[in-house]
């Protein structure tokens, strides 16, 4: 088997260096070519590679995949294998890839494929894509707040800081008016959060969409109303004191076509904080071209 490794050299620790990763992969009989995901790699992509490996966190995974979706890599479609090396690793956890690196690499030989839907957002200056989610309310505010803080040294400290910051935001955030239509049915109201999701978790590893099927052709809309504020705040407080990735049940509405507008301009697409038009409507749907990930059988 031959693979092309796209690696974020700033992610992980010494065990995740270029040399160590190449050794681990080669030890499983996989011939591998290396490119840094931090540099221009699209022209170096190996045409005869059986699959592409992405080693890094959620941000690296998204940036690499956007190059494929935007046609920067040519017409060939490669199965994708992930080596999670980030802080939350929401995408990898949704694909059940949170084991020892050697076990993950060993599973690639079986080439078990999981289809993965890509969300498409119309309404910006150009169509935007997401793997994790697109949303308004407390999570964009959290992302903005985290950018203004000094980032801790370790992923564990960073997750704890994010949870503590989110806890304060939940207690103080004023619910906003949301115009929301899902497959033609009106669900408008005032919410602290409206998230259009495709995977199980969001933000600092919070499992809010536990029954998500990443390849079912449906998106899930997760809503947090005023009536759930205290319970959700208590859940975050519990997560701060416990490292367990517990699920939290919020109302989930599934659909294929979502029209959404929010009262203010805070929004995010995956881990990217963006400025949305206040009260501007966006149409969210599934991109017809899905991704293929190699996952454990």
Mapped onto helix, strand or coil, the DSSP state of residue 135 is strand
> Comparing 2-111 with 119-288, is the CATH topology the same?
no
Q: What is the mean pLDDT of the chain?
A: 92
Highest mean pLDDT among 1-15, 74-88, 186-200, 232-246: 186-200
CATH class of segment(s) 119-288: mainly beta
Q: With cut-offs at 50, 70 and 90, classify the pLDDT of residue 11.
A: confident
CA–CA distances in Å: residue 187 to residues 177, 224, 277: 11, 12, 20
Cβ neighbors of 40 (< 8 A, separation 6 or more) are: none
What digits encode the pLDDT tens for the residues 244-276?
A: 777 888 889 999 999 999 998 889 999 999 999
Mapped onto helix, strand or coil, the DSSP state of residue 286 is strand
Strand partners, 247: 207
Output the pLDDT for position 245.
Answer: 73
Q: Is the pLDDT of residue 141 over 90?
A: yes
Q: Is the pLDDT of residue 297 over 90?
A: no
**In this structure, what token pair is assigned to residue 171?**
């207690």
Give φ, ψ of 134 to 5 degrees.
-130, 125
Output the pLDDT for position 216.
Answer: 94
Q: Is the pLDDT of residue 12 over 80?
A: no
Q: How many CA atoms lie within 13 A of 151 on its CB side?
A: 8
The CA-based angle 190-192-196, given to 5 degrees, is 95
Whole-angstrom Cα distance, residue 158 to residue 153?
A: 7
Domain ranges of the chain: 2-111, 119-288
The sign of the dihedral angle between the CA atoms of 243, 247, 249, 254 is positive
Whole-angstrom Cα distance, residue 58 to residue 82?
A: 10
Strand partners, 129: 120
Q: What is the pTM of this model?
A: 0.90
Cβ neighbors of 254 (< 8 A, separation 6 or more) are: 218, 219, 220, 221
Cβ neighbors of 17 (< 8 A, separation 6 or more) are: 9
Assign domain 2-111 one CATH number from 3.40.50.10330, 2.30.30.40, 2.60.120.10, 3.40.190.10.
Answer: 3.40.50.10330
Q: Is the pLDDT of residue 213 over 80?
A: yes
Mapped onto helix, strand or coil, the DSSP state of residue 193 is strand
Whole-angstrom Cα distance, residue 280 to residue 193?
A: 16
Q: Is the pLDDT of residue 154 over 90?
A: no
* Helices 155-172 and 229-241, axial angle in degrees (round to 10): 160
What digits encode the pLDDT tens for the residues 35-66?
A: 999 999 999 998 899 999 999 999 999 999 99
Output the pLDDT for position 86.
Answer: 83
What digits encode the pLDDT tens for the residues 63-102?
A: 999 999 988 888 889 999 999 988 888 999 899 887 788 9
What digits encode the pLDDT tens for the residues 116-138?
A: 999 999 999 999 999 999 999 99
SS3 percent helix, strand, coil of the chain, rounded to 5, is: 30, 30, 40
Q: With cut-offs at 50, 70 and 90, classify the pLDDT of residue 13.
A: low
Q: With cut-offs at 50, 70 and 90, classify the pLDDT of residue 289.
A: confident
Torsion of CA 217, 80, 208, 144, to 10 degrees: -110
Cβ neighbors of 244 (< 8 A, separation 6 or more) are: none
Q: Is the pLDDT of residue 153 over 90?
A: no
Q: Is the pLDDT of residue 14 over 70?
A: no
- Sequence length of the chain is 297
Output the pLDDT for position 291.
Answer: 95
Of the given ranges (36-45, 189-198, 207-216, 244-253), which has the lowest mean pLDDT?
244-253
């Amino acid at each position: 088997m031959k693979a092309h490794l796209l690696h974020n050299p700033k992610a992980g620790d010494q065990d995740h260096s270029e040399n160590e990763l190449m050794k681990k992969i080669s030890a499983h009989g996989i011939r591998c070519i290396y490119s840094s995901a931090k540099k221009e790699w699209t022209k170096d992509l190996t045409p005869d590679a059986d699959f592409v490996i992405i080693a890094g966190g959620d941000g690296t995974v998204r940036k690499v995949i956007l190059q494929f979706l935007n046609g920067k890599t040519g017409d060939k479609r490669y199965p994708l294998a992930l080596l999670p090396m980030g802080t939350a690793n929401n995408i990898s956890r949704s694909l059940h890839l949170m084991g020892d690196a050697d076990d993950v690499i060993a599973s690639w030989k079986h080439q078990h494929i999981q289809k993965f839907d890509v969300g498409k957002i119309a309404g910006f200056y150009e169509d935007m894509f997401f793997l994790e989610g697109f949303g308004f309310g407390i999570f964009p505010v959290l992302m903005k707040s985290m950018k203004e803080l000094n980032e801790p040294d370790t992923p564990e400290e960073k997750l704890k800081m994010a949870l503590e910051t989110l806890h304060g935001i939940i207690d103080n955030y004023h619910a906003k008016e949301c115009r929301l239509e899902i497959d033609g049915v009106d669900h408008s109201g005032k919410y602290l959060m409206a998230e259009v999701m495709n995977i199980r978790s969001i933000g600092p590893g919070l499992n809010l969409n536990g029954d998500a099927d990443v390849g079912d052709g449906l998106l899930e809309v997760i809503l947090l109303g005023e009536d759930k504020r205290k319970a959700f705040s208590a859940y975050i407080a519990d997560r701060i004191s416990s490292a367990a990735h517990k699920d939290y049940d919020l109302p989930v509405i599934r659909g294929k076509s979502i029209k959404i507008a929010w009262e203010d301009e805070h929004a995010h697409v995956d881990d990217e904080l963006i400025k949305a038009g206040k009260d501007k409507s966006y149409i969210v749907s599934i991109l017809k071209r899905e991704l293929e990930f190699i996952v454990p059988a």
